[in-house]
Amino acid sequence: MEAVILVGIQAAGKSTFYRERFFQTHLRISLDLLRTRHRERALLAWCLSHGQRFVVDNTNIAAVERAVYIASARVAGFRVVGYVFEADVPASITRNAGRAQAEQVPAKAIGGTKKRLEWPQRGEGFDELHEVRVDPAGGFIVEEWRDAV
């Protein structure tokens, strides 16, 4: 059983990464889709009680936000894997502009999210932690995360 937590600013590539890496194997938990924390918590509880692998596809920029998923997953016996996306504001603003109008977020919100970003640490309860960058060809480069000193 595996819980995956994606961490990154808006338009960093998290949802595309989910579709490419986890669509066939993990259920997606996303506030963009579910619209309320109540629905999100209900789906999370269902996954945990049924042993369903899942990916939390939100910004998850604060340790306190991530702790909700990590603690619940660990109590239920899940491995917890984090993927931290490069916080490249100009590239995210460009990707955001390519989204459908209804899916775009204000450019200022992207920069504001970066300012509030708390870089994850293994000590939060991750079994694995990886860094993700978008390569120039549009694919993903995944490397082992190095905790900030």
Domains in the chain: ranges and CATH: 9-144 (3.40.50.300)
pLDDT score of 149 more than 60? no
CA–CA separation, 65 and 142 (whole Å)? 23
Specify the pTM.
0.93
Q: What are the backbone angles phi and psi of residue 55, rounded to the nearest 5°?
A: -125, 130
pLDDT score of 101 more than 90? no
The residue-averaged pLDDT of 89-111 equals: 88
CA–CA separation, 58 and 101 (whole Å)? 19
pLDDT score of 141 more than 70? yes
CA–CA separation, 72 and 94 (whole Å)? 35
pLDDT score of 11 more than 80? yes
Phi-psi domain of 108 (left: phi exceeds 0; alpha: psi -120 through 50; beta: other) = alpha
The residue-averaged pLDDT of 107-125 equals: 93
At 108 the pLDDT is 92
At 130 the pLDDT is 96
At 88 the pLDDT is 86
Average pLDDT, the chain: 93
pLDDT category of residue 148 using cuts at 50, 70 and 90: low
